[in-house]
Chains A and B, each alone.
Chain A
């Protein structure tokens, strides 16, 4: 069975600083990988996804992520964080044979200091 680990429960960065959120997955085949953002009391919004091809994926709101097969990682990055980026971030891995069924990491809470 697949699994997702987000090692950092909580990260605090200053506004304007760079950000990296870590995600490691365990899956036997090439996974479908996702990053979602969730604001308090709301559903999830897809930031970006990786299915195949270029391992550096660009998403919305200035986010990007890099798939590294050798490290089983899919870390999320942003060069300059804005106060509005404060939220909960979830990494997820989906099965490529079972459309939509995803396993989520426990999430990382991002706090942005002024």
Chain B
């Protein structure tokens, strides 16, 4: 149980285009999902906390107009990278929490974004 999927697993796009990444909790409802960014050989950096039915909470330094997050249902959160540029190329990972009190996250397999 507690499986999280991401789609697509990888995407290549041209500079200036927008890319949408989906994160789904397959067998549980997730009121909270998290979006992370990981550069090669580095740790995960939390970008934002996505709460179902409300606006996402972004970490300091993350441009909310560039990284649009929508959490429209209890099983789906989307991250849209708008007007992507080569510096946005990265590995994006989402996670979801089934609920308190465990504080345990279940991670998706990640999405590799390459912007040409």
Contacts and interface: CB of A to CB of B under 8 A. Distances in A.
A99 B32 contact: yes
A44 interface: yes
Nearest to A46: B104
Interface size class of A (residues with CB under 8 A): 20 to 34
Nearest to B5: A43
A101 B107 contact: no
A104 B43 contact: yes
14 contacts: A32-B103, A43-B4, A43-B6, A43-B110, A46-B106, A49-B104, A95-B103, A99-B32, A100-B32, A100-B34, A101-B34, A102-B46, A104-B43, A105-B43
B95 A106 contact: no
A90 B43 contact: yes
Contacts of A51: 102-103
Given A43-B108, A100-B49, A106-B42, 15 more contacts: A34-B104, A36-B107, A42-B109, A43-B109, A44-B44, A44-B93, A45-B107, A94-B103, A96-B103, A99-B32, A100-B32, A101-B49, A103-B46, A107-B41, A107-B43
A95 B112 CA distance: 28
